[in-house]
Amino acid sequence: MASTQYTSQTDFKTSYDTLHSTFATGRTKSIKWRKWQLKQLWWMIAENEDRIIEALRQEMNRPAFETIGMELRAIKGDVVEFLERVDEWAEGDKPDAGFVMGTLAKAWMRKEPLGVALIIAAWNFPLYTLLSPAIAAIGAGNAVLLKPSELAPVAQELLVDLVPKYLDPSAIRVVTGGPAETGHVLTHKFNHIFYTGGGKVGRIIAEAAAKNLTPIVLELGGQAPVIVTKSANIDIAAKRIAHAKLTNSGQVCLNANHVFADPTVHDQLIERLRYWFDKFLENGDDSLSAIINERHFDRVSGLLKSTAGVVVYGGSTDRSRRHVQPTVVRDVMIDDSLLSEELFAPITPIVVADVDRAIRIIGSMPHPLGLYIFSQDQGEIKHILDNTNSGGVTINDIMLHAGVPNAPFGGVGESGYGSYHGKFGFDAFSHTRTIVTPPNWMETLLSFRYRPFDLKNLKW
Ligand code: NAD
């Protein structure tokens, strides 16, 4: 069992001061330093893959396949992308500023690191939600304070062990703590805060950041809906929904939460969901992650017990292994317990609704991080896109928009603000400084602006 002590206020202050002093020296700004640290981070993952897989197995019975795909490969892929592109991104850009400002006055947009960035991660992907933003922060030339989730204590302990062994301790540090310790950290001024987690804490972070005018990115969650329309390929819809619900036992921020099924395809969808859950679990349910802790297990079991819908698949729970059987519930009403909050569990509530009713219900709920449309009718897809809002959308699959290279990943409204991944992450941790250098010989061109004013000189 993990035994990491939370960081004391004194140790936190030492780390905080060290990071600020290091940033002030300019050390983290050099591209050489950034690349060196990114390579070290790559090695930190590569040389410890077995330990990481084992840690997440212990933490939540996570199968190696999911840890490799959704944490290890994803983190290593981010490092490679930054190594390949950081020179170009750090160079800055030329604005489309026209002949006078752009060409003659050589306007450009310089990319500068913000300073010391605080990254606060969530438990469900305890490495990725910490290290992927860290890659962007380091790539952009910042010093970084990492705060892993205390709700994933085994992963937290591993990070406390590995980070100082691989990464420059003068510029990249880990602190640990729960709400009280994190609250103390937040009383200090940072130059950027990147938070991944629930919206309730997101508001606490935003409030603390506002006191220092600190820019933030909030990567939150929400109740991502799926719309299965009458034109959908129902077998594909059921297969992909079932697969997503089994991924980390549904404990993924942008996972499908509930399904709106058109009345004409509703029964067929349930039949195919049962088929695919059976098929995916034909070798037993050992490959299913556990619910992260007993508090979350009790929350999920409570929601399931209170549903007024009809359980047509699964439905059993086992507290001793924090196991929730993949479950399908039909005839769910919009005021049902299963629609009252983000489920974060392998439960699929199905609401009977045609496209327009689904759109109305989605509009009455907070903006989700993801929206999923199963339809083969382009007009229908456009109608849904035009009348809903969400962080991102995947059509005829679940969650894939988060993996689109060179595209932003982030929420809107209650699912957060700001984004990252690739260049968008680099920009999140950078200040774009506009610079212009009017040469002295432009004096004649600029002379119209000087006093005494003469309106004749103003062309408007
Ligand atoms: P959590 O409990 O691990 O909390 C997240 C972080 O907030 C932790 O580091 C924790 O220490 C800190 N924290 C908790 N209480 C605090 C307080 N009072 N003050 C300051 N800091 C505090 O995670 P969670 O909130 O249960 O995470 C699950 C949520 O995260 C879900 O809503 C999920 O959808 C969302 N999520 C979003 C993404 C994304 O990329 N958008 C990724 C993963 C999870």
pLDDT digits (tens, 9 = 90+) for 355-414: 999 999 999 999 999 999 999 999 999 999 999 999 999 999 999 999 999 999 999 999
Catalytic residue numbers read 219, 253
Which ligand 1 atom minimizes the distance to the CA of 221?
34
Give CA–CA dist 185/171, Å, rounded: 17
95-128 pLDDT, tens digit each: 999 999 999 999 999 999 999 999 999 999 999 9
Which ligand 1 atom minimizes the distance to the CA of 410?
41
294-348 pLDDT, tens digit each: 999 999 999 999 999 999 999 999 999 999 999 999 999 999 999 999 999 999 9
pLDDT band at 1 (very low <50, low <70, confident <90, very high): very low
Q: Whose CA is nearest to atom 24 of ligand 1?
A: 197
Beta strands 416-417; 216-219: pairing state:
antiparallel
Its ipTM equals 0.96
220-262 pLDDT, tens digit each: 999 999 999 999 999 999 999 999 999 999 999 999 999 999 9
Which ligand 1 atom minimizes the distance to the CA of 177?
11
For ligand 1, the distance from its centroid to the CA atom of residue 148, given in whole angstroms, is 10
Beta strands in 22-142 (DSSP E): 108-113, 116-120
For ligand 1, the distance from its centroid to the CA atom of residue 47, given in whole angstroms, is 28
* DSSP-derived 3-state class of residue 334: coil
Q: Is 443 exposed, middle or buried (0-12, 13-18, 19+ CB in 10 A)?
A: exposed
Q: Whose CA is nearest to atom 43 of ligand 1?
A: 253
| pLDDT confidence of residue 457 | 84
Distances (CA, A) of 260 to 244, 265, 273, 362, 370: 16, 10, 14, 10, 14
Which ligand 1 atom minimizes the distance to the CA of 411?
41
pTM value is 0.96
142-160 pLDDT, tens digit each: 999 999 999 999 999 999 9
In the predicted model, is pLDDT for residue 3 greater than 80?
A: no
For ligand 1, the distance from its centroid to the CA atom of residue 417, given in whole angstroms, is 15
For ligand 1, the distance from its centroid to the CA atom of residue 200, given in whole angstroms, is 9
Q: Residues near ligand 1 with C-beta < 6 Å?
A: 120-125, 129, 147, 149-151, 178-179, 182-183, 196-198, 201, 204, 219-221, 253, 342, 369, 416
- 287-313 burial, b at 16+ Cβ within 10 Å, e below that, comes to bbbbbbbeebbebbbebbeebebeebb
Pocket residue to mutate for ligand 1, from 78, 119, 124, most atoms within 8 A of Cβ: 124
For ligand 1, the distance from its centroid to the CA atom of residue 198, given in whole angstroms, is 5
Half-sphere exposure of 151 (CA within 13 A, CB side): 15
